[in-house]
Amino acid sequence: MKTAVIQFPGSNCDADALHAAKLLLDDSAEFVWHTETDLPEGTELVFLPGGFSYGDHLRSGAIAARSPIMNAVKAHAEAGGYVLGVCNGFQVLTEAGLLPGALSRNRDIHFHCQSVHLRVENNQTAFSRAYTQGQRIEIPIAHGEGNYYASAATIAELEEGGRVVFRYADNPNGSLNDIAGIVNKRGNVLGMMPHPERALESLLGSEDGRGVFESLKAK
């Protein structure tokens, strides 16, 4: 699966994202700078990595969501292409309108960098088929603004539509309904705060993140 990893000023998980894509998806994965207006030909997956795009100025992901490349990312998603946003990438997706809701300051106003346990709530998406329904997995987080919130109507729509893909087993940030990762209505855009690309090899403490990429490869 040919992958484009988008780089914004302040991205700091881009190398991890590229490593994950090359290791588990396709060695042709490449970086795309945010000022570009087109994705590389044949791109199947767009990966928006974690970090602090534009220093989190205004709001996390707010400026990155308006970068030139995002028009191409939106067109890619609208055409059915896959988009994965992790941590700051999730924030960018909400700011760009590709996913509903928003990410606010953690409940305790502290930055959290730790491993957390997630429950796979829906294993019938392109990003989760390699897992079993209800599987408990361990994946690291590193964020200060991972508290997911949305209107009551939006939360109900996400729950009823099976669009909550990952849920915190022990909520570290105050996210409504323990939400850790969601998909859009079409199921081709996933945003999640935990970092699956940091849980690919046992040397790092967990291989539980591999399922996200293995699911995409086997789609």
Alpha carbon dihedral 45, 46, 51, 56, in 10-degree steps, equals: -150
Alpha-carbon torsion (92, 95, 96, 101), positive or negative: positive
How much of the chain is helix, strand and coil, in % rounded to 5? 30, 25, 45
Give the pLDDT of residue 45: 98
Exposure b/e, 157-167, CB count within 10 A at least 16 = b: ebeeeebbbbb
Closest CA to 50 of 10, 98, 106: 10
Q: Mark out the alpha helices in 13-87 (DSSP H runs).
A: 14-24, 69-78
The 8-class DSSP code of residue 10 comes to T
Give the pLDDT of residue 5: 98
Residues serving a catalytic function are: 87, 195, 197
Tens-digit pLDDT string for the chain (219 aa): 999 999 999 999 999 999 999 999 999 999 999 999 999 999 999 999 999 999 888 889 999 999 999 999 999 999 999 999 999 999 999 999 999 999 999 999 999 999 999 999 999 999 999 999 999 999 999 999 999 999 999 999 999 999 999 999 999 999 999 999 999 999 999 999 999 999 999 988 899 999 999 999 987
Structure tokens at 166: 């990952």
Would you say how long the chain is, in residues? 219
As a whole number of angstroms, the distance between CA 126 and CA 75 comes to: 19
Q: Are 165 and 183 in contact (CB under 8 A)?
A: yes
As a whole number of angstroms, the distance between CA 205 and CA 98 comes to: 32
Give the pLDDT of residue 58: 82
